[in-house]
A and B are shown apart, each in its own frame.
Chain A
Amino acid sequence: MSTTLNVVTSQEYKYGFVTDIEADSVAPGLNEDVIRFISAKKGEPEWLLEFRLKAFRHWLTMTEPEWAKVDYPRPDFQKIVYYSAPKAKVAKYASMDEVDPELLRTFEKLGVPINEQASLAGVAVDVVFDSVSVTTTYKEKLAAVGIIFCSFSEAVKEHPELVRKYLGSVVPAADNFYAALNSAVFTDGSFVFIPKGVACPMDLSTYFRINNKESGQFERTLIVAEEGASVSYLEGCTAPQFDTNQLHAAVVELVALDNASIKYSTVQNWYAGDKNGVGGIFNFVTKRGLCKGKGSRISWTQVETGSAITWKYPSCVLLGDDSIGEFYSVALTNHKQQADTGTKMVHIGKNTKSTIISKGISAGDSSNSYRGLVKVQPKAEGARNFSQCDSMLIGQTCSASTFPYIEVQNRSARVEHEATTSKIGEEQLFYFQQRGIPAEEAISMIINGFCKDVFRELPMEFAVEATKLLSLKLEGSVG
């Protein structure tokens, strides 16, 4: 390997700054009192407190999952701050001017189009800053067609019947270790409800940001699309640079009724730790969509570039006949990052279809694994799955693994899985350079070509961002 294949990394984390806002926090540690505190602080109804306590009691009996191909110091759950809210100078903002300017500057640095940019970009942003949702735009426009898009806490207050009906219906409180923890201590998140027959007129978007040092983030997102409704939801993440590992254990639940369609796109760029693997976010997320109705469709698209440890399997439960599940993923790891990510497609209904396209890129000393499950249950007549998992290795000290689990219990099912491994070779780079394209640009082009099948599933602004992000992340790895 020549010098060309040895340079591009070391770009400093662009979003590593700390906003100084006095936090309103609970002491570190986790017990029933902390949960009661969170629930009381948020003025929650009794049933939700019960939901939390039940989850917590179950969590106490569970052990951390060991099966993923990741190695990290186990978090000390008693050292985590489970509640911290940025203190607002005014309780409710009449206009953007009243929002803490410090906060606005943060978002500006992040490039969140919250002011005029928001309207220019045509994006409604529900901003989660640490744990409390601060501001929501475009609410009225959405309300006009009956769409509810608000913070989770607000939904609990304004639409308790909807929250109660769907919360935990896709990811039960005791689903897994981190989902149970989330169910016990989640502080906020987003809630989306698209009523019958409504096509959401714009992409909905949330930016998450972890701010308070040692405050784990436990978001809860719930998206419900009623019969014939459709929505495209965007989630993007960045976080400040810290040395202590930060735990992020979110739960995202999607419910699609008859002929409804939900498209969920993520660009994840949390702090991945430095070159030596110090610091970085632990991203242990449970994302699952339930295609509950006939002909419903749920599509996950993710571009995972950040986090020290990623443990994430956005899944689809294809319950309704003729429902469709899709998973498009690009996962890039560099330096000491470790990612174990993939999906689960559970075919229950007849003529259900699923597609999995996963592209893993590993560079530096990183470890990148695809882990997926395709399960065809006995009654899933005519189920169809196609999976394609490709890995690309850059350098000689990284690793790429593929662990597809395929379980078929219906003979009319057709399940196909393919995986390949390739590298960016000297020869390819030489060819590009010979045609007058510099190495850096060549790498970007090769990576883009490699990820094309996923990028074209992303909403346009995300696709542009994702392309840039990958090039940025690989600077120094090849070159």
Chain B
Amino acid sequence: MSTMVAGAAFAADLLSGPRPAEWKELREAAEARLAGRELPTMHEEDWKYLDLKPLAALRFGPAPKVAADISGRLLPEMVGTRQVFVNGRHASHASCTSAVPAGVRFFPLSAASEACHALGSVGAGDPRNLFEDLNAARFEDGAVILVPKNMKAALPLHLLFITSAEAPVAVFPRLLVVLERGSELELVEEHHGEGAYLTAPVIEIRVAEGAVLRHERVQRDSMEAFHLGTLRAEVAKGGQYHSRTLSFGARLSRQQPWLRLAEGVEASLDGLALLDGTQVADTHSFIHHAEPHSQSHQLHKCIVDGRARAIFNGQIRVAPRAQGTDAKQQSRNLLLSETARVDTKPQLEIYADDVKCSHGAAVGQLDPEELFYMQSRGLNADDARNLLTYGFAADVIAHVPVASLRRALRQLVMARTQASTLGDLS
């Protein structure tokens, strides 16, 4: 009971501050849903393995206006195509859009109202979670990306969400991406931060017919942070959506991607979580094959060390009319310590008969034969283990299209898997 009371107080606390004036309807609807809402407990099937008590134990205030140093965060390919948000607000001094391809609109929500009527409409009608509603009720700013018909954006766009807090604060980043028919875009979304905070981003994506979005997501929040993110994507006929979510930071994180695939869509939803200490990372995905002949591929990998916990709950639903669906889902987990823990639940719900669906889950440690092989080639036991651990992670990041990001991620993974002692493997 105490958690539930704390939970109710939790939402009320966050809602007690001033409400931004824009998007009144969206906010009011969210507030109405939030009224009396409690923080979910582990008794709810959807939150079975994730204990939110540590979150309930903290009180989060509104985020102060601060300037953040982004010098180490820039990527050479995207120096002129970046928008930076600090503590949920647009940081114009840190942003630079000089190289954004002509025709592509990439601006803060606060700067324009065009297209923003679409805010909150992706995946409407689907039950919303508390954190998504909290975001809708209280977000201050966010980014909007519009790519016009048949425009193939030559450069990737870079979004940096930075949170910096001395006392616990809550921030609600928001992102709306709309790709019109036949357009193409690469997008890199990064989350960084310092101190204890709650970030509950909501990302809405609309991919029109035949459009292609490649979406790289890097979560490097502070080790004291809570990251509870929602992503909703609707992909129209013949469109493609490919995302890769790489989670390194946050003491407690949860990613909730929700995808609706129309006819002939190709989608991939890959993930890698590198966890240590007492980190908890939860991925709760839902892929809805709503119409015929769509494909989805999901590869989710977790490397869990220390007392960390990885949770995966991936649901694939194939609607009755979605004949010809091809869905593959893999949850693969590597346990590195005595006290690490993995809970995984891949789920298939199939209502059509002419489909190809499979899922798999594996939890284990490194293969002793592979370790032996490495040692027979002259590596010592530690190096062999580190190299294999790095290799386990590397195939998720191998295809990151932005070279500098790929390099940075490789270095990060090498450092975290202690494989860096083996020299540059990239």
Contacts and interface: CB of A to CB of B under 8 A. Distances in A.
B363 A393 contact: no
**Interface of A (DSSP majority class):** strand
A402 interface: yes
A420 B354 contact: no
Contacts of A102: none
B353 A396 contact: yes
Chain A CB within 10 Å — which of B336, B342, B350, B363 has the most?
B363
Interface residues of B, number: 36
A404 B356 contact: no
Contacts of B361: 404, 406, 415-417
A420 B358 contact: yes
Interface in A375-421: 376, 378, 391, 393-421
Interface of B is mostly: strand
A67 interface: yes
Contact of B359 (A402, A407, A410): A402
A407 B49 CA distance: 9
Given A401-B349, A414-B364, A415-B363, A423 B354 contact: yes
B360 A416 contact: yes
A301 B365 CA distance: 30
Contacts of A404: 345-347, 361
Contacts of A395: 353
Contacts of B337: 411
A425 interface: yes
Contacts of B340: 411
B166 interface: no
A394 B364 contact: no
Nearest to B341: A409
Nearest to B347: A403
Interface in B344-377: 344-365
B401 interface: no
Given A403-B345, A411-B335, A418 B363 contact: no
Nearest to A387: B361
Given A401-B350, A408-B341, A423-B354, A416 B333 contact: no
A411 B336 contact: yes
A395 B346 CA distance: 24
B103 interface: no
Contacts of A394: 353
B424 interface: no
Contacts of A419: 346, 348, 358-360
A418 B350 contact: no
Interface in A275-311: none
B353 A406 contact: no
B320 interface: yes
A422 B353 CA distance: 7
Contact of B348 (A378, A401, A408): A401
B362 A421 contact: no
A428 to B, nearest CB: 12
A391 B347 CA distance: 13
B354 A425 contact: yes
Contact of B352 (A396, A410, A418): A396
A478 B288 CA distance: 28
Nearest to B349: A401
B28 to A, nearest CB: 32
The size bracket of the interface on A is 35 or more
A422 B361 CA distance: 19
A408 B354 contact: no
B338 interface: yes
B365 A412 contact: yes
Given A405-B345, A406-B342, A398 B353 contact: yes
B335 A408 contact: yes
Interface in B134-180: none
B22 interface: no
B343 interface: yes
Contacts of B357: 420-421
A375 to B, nearest CB: 9
A67 B45 contact: yes
Contacts of A413: 335, 363-364
B366 to A, nearest CB: 10
A407 B343 contact: yes
A290 to B, nearest CB: 24
Given A391-B350, A408-B333, A415-B363, A421 B320 contact: no
Contacts of A416: 360-364
Nearest to B335: A411
B363 A396 contact: no
Nearest to A370: B348
> Which of B323, B348, B352, B364: most chain A CB closer than 10 A?
B348
A417 B336 contact: no
Given A408-B341, A421-B356, A400 B364 contact: no
Contact of A408 (B346, B349, B363): B363
B362 A411 contact: no
A418 B352 CA distance: 20
B222 to A, nearest CB: 27
Contacts of A401: 347-350
A399 B341 contact: no
Nearest to A419: B359
Contacts of B365: 411-412, 414
A399 B351 contact: yes
Contact of A418 (B336, B354, B358, B364): B358
Which of B338, B360, B361, B364 has the most CB atoms of chain A within a 10 A radius of its CB?
B361
A396 B350 CA distance: 10
A220 B351 CA distance: 36
Contacts of B49: 407
Contacts of A409: 341
A413 B131 CA distance: 35
B407 to A, nearest CB: 30
Nearest to B323: A396
A393 to B, nearest CB: 4
Interface in B14-69: 45, 49
Interface in A223-245: none
A340 to B, nearest CB: 12
A409 to B, nearest CB: 5
A421 B358 contact: yes
Contacts of B339: 378
Interface in B383-407: none
Interface string A419-448: 111110100000000000000000000000
Nearest to B334: A411
Contact of A396 (B320, B343, B358): B320
Contacts of B344: 406
A407 B339 CA distance: 13
Nearest to A363: B353
Contacts of A418: 358-360
A416 B364 CA distance: 8
Nearest to A395: B353
A432 B335 CA distance: 47
Contacts of B359: 402, 417-419
26 contacts: A378-B338, A395-B353, A396-B323, A396-B353, A397-B320, A398-B351, A400-B350, A402-B359, A404-B347, A406-B363, A407-B341, A407-B343, A411-B335, A411-B340, A411-B365, A414-B362, A416-B362, A416-B363, A417-B346, A417-B359, A417-B360, A418-B359, A419-B360, A421-B348, A423-B355, A425-B354
The 3 closest A-B pairs by CB, nearest first: A411-B335, A393-B353, A414-B364
Interface of A: 67, 376, 378, 391, 393-423, 425
Given A393-B355, A415-B362, 7 more contacts: A393-B353, A399-B349, A402-B346, A406-B345, A412-B365, A416-B360, A417-B359
